[in-house]
Amino acid sequence: MTHSLASLIGRSLAAPLARFWRDESGVTAIEFGILATPFFAIIGAILETSVVFLASSVLDSAVLDASRQIRTGQLQAQNYTVSQFEDLICSRLYGLFQDCHALQVRVSTVSNFSSATLDSPLATTCTTSCAWVMPEEFKAGPGSSTVIVQVYYKWPIILRMGASAANDQPDGTRLLGAVQVFRSEPFSS
Protein backbone atom coordinates (compact mmCIF):
# COMPACT_ATOMS: atom_id res chain seq x y z
CA MET A 1 0.00 0.00 0.00
CA THR A 2 1.43 3.30 -1.00
CA HIS A 3 0.58 6.49 0.69
CA SER A 4 1.03 9.85 -0.84
CA LEU A 5 3.33 12.29 0.78
CA ALA A 6 0.43 14.70 1.42
CA SER A 7 -1.58 12.11 3.33
CA LEU A 8 1.45 11.17 5.46
CA ILE A 9 2.07 14.80 6.34
CA GLY A 10 -1.64 15.33 7.01
CA ARG A 11 -1.83 12.35 9.38
CA SER A 12 1.41 13.28 11.13
CA LEU A 13 0.11 16.81 11.78
CA ALA A 14 -3.45 15.82 12.62
CA ALA A 15 -2.62 13.98 15.84
CA PRO A 16 -0.57 16.80 17.46
CA LEU A 17 -3.06 19.39 16.24
CA ALA A 18 -5.94 17.44 17.73
CA ARG A 19 -4.04 17.07 21.00
CA PHE A 20 -3.35 20.83 20.99
CA TRP A 21 -7.04 21.67 20.58
CA ARG A 22 -8.05 19.26 23.34
CA ASP A 23 -5.34 20.39 25.77
CA GLU A 24 -6.79 22.71 28.42
CA SER A 25 -3.65 23.42 30.40
CA GLY A 26 -2.95 27.17 30.33
CA VAL A 27 -6.56 28.14 29.62
CA THR A 28 -6.77 29.94 32.94
CA ALA A 29 -3.71 32.03 32.13
CA ILE A 30 -5.11 32.95 28.72
CA GLU A 31 -8.50 33.86 30.17
CA PHE A 32 -6.83 35.97 32.86
CA GLY A 33 -4.76 37.73 30.21
CA ILE A 34 -7.90 38.56 28.24
CA LEU A 35 -9.92 39.72 31.25
CA ALA A 36 -7.18 41.40 33.31
CA THR A 37 -6.92 44.56 31.22
CA PRO A 38 -10.60 45.55 31.36
CA PHE A 39 -10.84 44.45 35.00
CA PHE A 40 -7.93 46.61 36.13
CA ALA A 41 -9.14 49.49 33.93
CA ILE A 42 -12.51 49.41 35.70
CA ILE A 43 -10.85 49.21 39.13
CA GLY A 44 -8.61 52.15 38.17
CA ALA A 45 -11.58 54.19 36.93
CA ILE A 46 -13.46 53.52 40.17
CA LEU A 47 -10.46 54.61 42.25
CA GLU A 48 -9.87 57.71 40.10
CA THR A 49 -13.53 58.72 40.34
CA SER A 50 -13.47 58.19 44.11
CA VAL A 51 -10.39 60.39 44.54
CA VAL A 52 -11.89 63.15 42.37
CA PHE A 53 -15.12 63.00 44.39
CA LEU A 54 -13.17 63.13 47.65
CA ALA A 55 -11.11 66.10 46.46
CA SER A 56 -14.26 67.91 45.34
CA SER A 57 -15.94 67.33 48.70
CA VAL A 58 -12.86 68.46 50.64
CA LEU A 59 -12.60 71.62 48.51
CA ASP A 60 -16.29 72.38 49.02
CA SER A 61 -15.96 71.92 52.78
CA ALA A 62 -12.84 74.11 52.95
CA VAL A 63 -14.54 76.91 51.01
CA LEU A 64 -17.63 76.64 53.22
CA ASP A 65 -15.52 76.89 56.39
CA ALA A 66 -13.47 79.83 55.09
CA SER A 67 -16.60 81.61 53.85
CA ARG A 68 -18.07 81.57 57.35
CA GLN A 69 -15.35 83.99 58.39
CA ILE A 70 -16.38 86.33 55.57
CA ARG A 71 -20.02 86.01 56.61
CA THR A 72 -19.20 87.18 60.15
CA GLY A 73 -16.85 89.98 59.01
CA GLN A 74 -13.70 88.53 60.57
CA LEU A 75 -11.69 88.58 57.34
CA GLN A 76 -12.87 92.06 56.34
CA ALA A 77 -11.73 93.38 59.74
CA GLN A 78 -8.27 91.91 59.09
CA ASN A 79 -8.11 93.33 55.51
CA TYR A 80 -7.55 89.91 53.96
CA THR A 81 -6.05 89.61 50.48
CA VAL A 82 -6.58 86.95 47.81
CA SER A 83 -3.39 85.12 48.79
CA GLN A 84 -4.29 85.15 52.49
CA PHE A 85 -7.76 83.77 51.72
CA GLU A 86 -6.14 81.13 49.50
CA ASP A 87 -3.84 80.18 52.40
CA LEU A 88 -6.88 79.93 54.69
CA ILE A 89 -8.53 77.51 52.26
CA CYS A 90 -5.28 75.58 51.77
CA SER A 91 -4.98 75.05 55.52
CA ARG A 92 -8.26 73.12 55.34
CA LEU A 93 -7.39 70.86 52.39
CA TYR A 94 -5.43 68.30 54.45
CA GLY A 95 -2.56 68.16 51.95
CA LEU A 96 -4.81 66.47 49.40
CA PHE A 97 -4.13 69.04 46.69
CA GLN A 98 -0.82 68.72 44.88
CA ASP A 99 -0.29 72.45 44.31
CA CYS A 100 -2.63 74.21 46.69
CA HIS A 101 -1.52 77.64 45.51
CA ALA A 102 -2.89 76.85 42.04
CA LEU A 103 -6.37 77.60 43.37
CA GLN A 104 -8.24 80.30 41.47
CA VAL A 105 -10.10 82.46 44.02
CA ARG A 106 -12.65 85.18 43.57
CA VAL A 107 -14.65 86.83 46.35
CA SER A 108 -17.00 89.56 45.18
CA THR A 109 -20.28 91.21 46.07
CA VAL A 110 -23.45 91.35 44.02
CA SER A 111 -26.53 93.51 44.46
CA ASN A 112 -28.87 90.60 45.30
CA PHE A 113 -29.18 86.82 45.06
CA SER A 114 -30.83 86.86 41.64
CA SER A 115 -27.90 88.77 40.13
CA ALA A 116 -25.39 86.16 41.35
CA THR A 117 -24.29 84.50 38.12
CA LEU A 118 -21.36 82.28 37.30
CA ASP A 119 -19.28 82.41 34.17
CA SER A 120 -16.73 79.82 33.18
CA PRO A 121 -13.45 80.47 35.00
CA LEU A 122 -11.53 79.00 32.05
CA ALA A 123 -11.30 79.97 28.40
CA THR A 124 -13.92 77.90 26.59
CA THR A 125 -12.22 77.82 23.19
CA CYS A 126 -8.96 76.09 23.98
CA THR A 127 -7.43 72.94 22.54
CA THR A 128 -4.40 72.13 24.70
CA SER A 129 -4.34 74.01 28.00
CA CYS A 130 -7.14 76.31 29.09
CA ALA A 131 -6.09 79.59 30.69
CA TRP A 132 -7.92 81.16 33.60
CA VAL A 133 -10.17 84.02 32.44
CA MET A 134 -11.74 84.75 35.83
CA PRO A 135 -9.72 87.46 37.59
CA GLU A 136 -8.70 86.74 41.16
CA GLU A 137 -9.99 89.21 43.74
CA PHE A 138 -11.02 89.56 47.36
CA LYS A 139 -13.79 92.14 47.74
CA ALA A 140 -16.02 90.79 50.49
CA GLY A 141 -17.85 94.05 51.11
CA PRO A 142 -19.38 95.53 54.27
CA GLY A 143 -21.96 93.93 56.55
CA SER A 144 -25.27 92.80 55.02
CA SER A 145 -23.66 92.38 51.58
CA THR A 146 -24.57 89.57 49.22
CA VAL A 147 -21.26 87.81 48.69
CA ILE A 148 -20.26 85.21 46.12
CA VAL A 149 -17.17 83.11 46.83
CA GLN A 150 -15.80 81.10 43.91
CA VAL A 151 -12.83 78.75 44.17
CA TYR A 152 -11.63 76.56 41.30
CA TYR A 153 -8.82 74.06 40.84
CA LYS A 154 -7.53 72.01 37.91
CA TRP A 155 -7.28 68.48 39.35
CA PRO A 156 -4.73 66.29 37.51
CA ILE A 157 -6.23 63.05 36.17
CA ILE A 158 -3.95 60.01 36.12
CA LEU A 159 -6.00 57.56 34.04
CA ARG A 160 -7.14 59.14 30.79
CA MET A 161 -9.45 56.68 29.08
CA GLY A 162 -11.40 58.36 26.31
CA ALA A 163 -14.21 60.90 26.29
CA SER A 164 -16.08 59.37 29.22
CA ALA A 165 -13.09 59.63 31.55
CA ALA A 166 -12.85 61.90 34.56
CA ASN A 167 -10.89 64.58 32.70
CA ASP A 168 -13.06 67.36 31.29
CA GLN A 169 -10.30 69.71 30.11
CA PRO A 170 -8.10 69.32 27.01
CA ASP A 171 -4.94 69.18 29.13
CA GLY A 172 -6.14 66.07 30.99
CA THR A 173 -7.34 67.81 34.14
CA ARG A 174 -10.76 68.07 35.74
CA LEU A 175 -12.12 71.41 36.83
CA LEU A 176 -13.19 71.29 40.47
CA GLY A 177 -15.21 74.17 41.81
CA ALA A 178 -16.76 75.29 45.04
CA VAL A 179 -19.14 78.24 45.18
CA GLN A 180 -20.88 79.88 48.14
CA VAL A 181 -23.45 82.66 47.84
CA PHE A 182 -24.69 84.23 51.06
CA ARG A 183 -25.68 87.47 52.75
CA SER A 184 -23.11 88.48 55.33
CA GLU A 185 -24.21 89.33 58.82
CA PRO A 186 -24.94 93.00 59.64
CA PHE A 187 -21.56 93.61 61.24
CA SER A 188 -20.11 97.12 61.40
CA SER A 189 -16.98 97.80 59.42
pLDDT tens track, the chain, 189 positions: 556 766 666 666 777 767 767 777 778 888 888 999 899 988 988 998 899 999 999 999 999 999 999 999 999 999 999 999 999 999 999 999 989 889 999 999 999 999 999 988 998 888 888 889 999 999 999 999 999 999 999 999 888 766 555 677 888 889 999 999 999 999 986
Q: Which H/E stretch holds residue 68? A: helix 27-71
Tell me if 15 is assigned to some domain. Answer: no
Tell me if 31 is assigned to some domain. Answer: yes
Tell me if 93 is assigned to some domain. Answer: yes
Number of structural domains in the chain: 1
- Asked if 82 contacts 66 with a C-beta cutoff of 8 angstroms, the reply is no
> Which range of residues forms the domain containing residue 166?
25-183
